[in-house]
A = this chain, B = another copy of it.
Amino acid sequence: MGIDPGSRITGYGIIDLDGPRARHVASGCIQTASDRPAPERLKTIFEAVAALIETYHPTEAAVEQVFMHRNPDSAIKLGQARGAALCAVVMAGLPVSEYAARAIKQAVVGNGAADKLQVQHMVKLLLDLSEAPPTDAADALAAAICHGHTRQTRQRLGAAAALAGRRR
């Protein structure tokens, strides 16, 4: 499950990595009412992420790393939304992996400096979707795809190490 938290819109994307190719399971956006107080909006994010986990039973989660926001005014708000989404994930017992934005773009587009449109386009192609998902959902799916690549590489390395161990 990839998550792209935001104070107004939190994107999510769930993919199945068991087959030879990543398969799209579900994706979309969690919207919070901008006229409601922060605690209520955080509750909406927490509950929605918890409900998605209960529905689709993802086993691992991936989010984009954020160190510093371009807009300092909204950094607190973004952090709060991330805190709510991450809490729902860790309270459900899922391990969370964080990836730099560059690493996610590199994994999905093959270019760490790709723009949002390219990410949307490649997510559509890689998951064989009939149309490109909205940007927040696409970013969440991209984080999930990036996690899939990393996981596969790790498994191959693990298998190679085990093989080397047996040969020794």
Are B90 and A40 touching (Cβ within 8 A)? Answer: yes
In residues 26-67 of chain A, which contact B (Cβ within 8 Å)? 37-40, 42-43, 46-47, 66-67
Which residues on B sit within 8 Å (CB–CB) of A46?
87, 90-91
Q: Could you tell me the distance between the alpha carbons of A98 and B42 in the complex, rounded to whole angstroms? A: 14
- The listed residue (B37, B47, B68, B89) touching A76 by CB distance below 8 A is B68
Tell me what chain A mostly uses at the interface: helix, strand, loop, or mixed: helix
Cβ-based interface call for A143 (8 A): no
Write the chain B residue with the least CB distance to A61.
Answer: B39
A82 to chain B, nearest CB (A): 5
Write the chain B residue with the least CB distance to A88.
Answer: B87
For the A-B complex with A39-B90, A80-B82 known, give 15 more contacts whose Cβ atoms are closer than 8 Å: A39-B96, A42-B90, A46-B90, A46-B91, A67-B76, A68-B73, A68-B75, A75-B79, A76-B76, A77-B79, A79-B83, A80-B83, A81-B83, A83-B86, A84-B87
With contacts A80-B80, A83-B42, A83-B82 taken as known, whether A67 is within 8 angstroms of B73 at the C-beta atoms is yes
Which residues on B sit within 8 Å (CB–CB) of A67?
73, 76
Q: Could you tell me the distance between the alpha carbons of A78 and B76 in the complex, rounded to whole angstroms? A: 7
Q: Could you tell me the distance between the alpha carbons of A67 and B79 in the complex, rounded to whole angstroms? A: 12
